[in-house]
Structure formats: C-alpha cells, structure tokens
Amino acid sequence: MEKTAGKEISVNASAIALEEKGVLIIGPSGSGKSILAIEMISLGATLVADDQTNVMVRSDGLYLSPLKSNAGLIESRYLGILKLPWQENIKLTTVIDLSKTEKKRLPPFRTHELLNYKIPCIYAKGNRIIAKALYVLLTGERKH
C-alpha cells in the first residue's frame, strides 16, 4: 500500500495533543484509553478525540482529528460524558499501546505501523505513571 495523501481511516483509539504533538492511545476496550487521555488533559494536553479517531495521510505524515459525532466529547467513568476544548489536524508523533507491557527498564525504540507509516510506540499496559512520563517526553525528547 502506498502512502497516499488524502487517505483517511477511523481507528478505535483516543488521542490528545501537547505542544502540537499528537498522541494516539490504542488498546482493547476497558484498557484505560480515556483515563490516560483525561490524565494528560489534567497535565495540560488538549483532547483530540475519544473512543474513535480519524487518521489522515498528508504529504508530511499522519494527522489526527475527531469524528464530527464525538468532537470535544470524552467519557469519564462515574462522571459521564464531558465536553471539553478540542483540537483537530494534529500531526501524529507517538503511539501509546495499552495492550502491551514494557518489560525493559530502558526499552528499545519501538514503532507501530499505521497506513504504511512507522510511528514511535511506547508499551504502557500497567504503567501507573505513564501520563507523567509521557508529558515529560512530549515537552522534551528521548535520547535512548
């Protein structure tokens, strides 16, 4: 499959943006995608999408936007559906995979393939401080 600008798919994932960097949060139902998005929003990130995220191919990479039906909405268990400020057309820079556990203290550089792009990926199942670590990563850079 080619990297064709204009191609768009909807994925079962939540997404946030921090400093114009887009994060796609993937994992099975009940894995904590919305919880991680809310934790990141509490640290200063902005909602892109909850539950379903549009991923679009552009000439310089993949971009994230909400579906029209869920723009600005996020589910918070025990509180309900919340309406928040949101962003669209955010370049995807990182994938957080809540289905896989990182076993290495200093993990290798991992990628997640989506629409023929390899996006940096972090395994985060069971990682209780992933929101804080992700915030630090997005405001800095990874050296290893």
Q: For 92-126, write each residue's pLDDT tens digit.
A: 999 999 999 999 999 999 999 999 999 999 999 99
- Asked if pLDDT for residue 3 goes beyond 80, the answer is no
The pLDDT assigned to 2 comes to: 63
The reply to whether 135 falls in a domain is yes
* Helices of type H across the chain: 33-42, 130-139
Mean of pLDDT values over 6-23: 96
- Rounded to 5°, angle at Cα 50 from 104 and 68: 145
The reply to whether 3 falls in a domain is no
The enclosing domain of 43 has a CATH number of 3.40.50.300
Domain span at 29: 8-139
Query: Is the Cβ–Cβ distance between 4 and 57 less than 8 Å?
Result: yes
The reply to whether 14 falls in a domain is yes
The reply to whether 2 falls in a domain is no
Per residue in 22-81, pLDDT (tens digit) is: 999 999 999 999 999 999 999 999 999 999 999 999 999 999 999 999 999 999 988 999
- Asked if pLDDT for residue 4 goes beyond 80, the answer is no
The reply to whether 144 falls in a domain is no
Query: Is the Cβ–Cβ distance between 19 and 138 less than 8 Å?
Result: yes
The reply to whether 16 falls in a domain is yes
Total domain count for the chain? Answer: 1
**Tokens 């191919």 found at:** 57
Question: How far apart, in whole angstroms, are the C-alpha atoms of residue 16 and residue 18?
Answer: 7
The reply to whether 114 falls in a domain is yes
The reply to whether 21 falls in a domain is yes
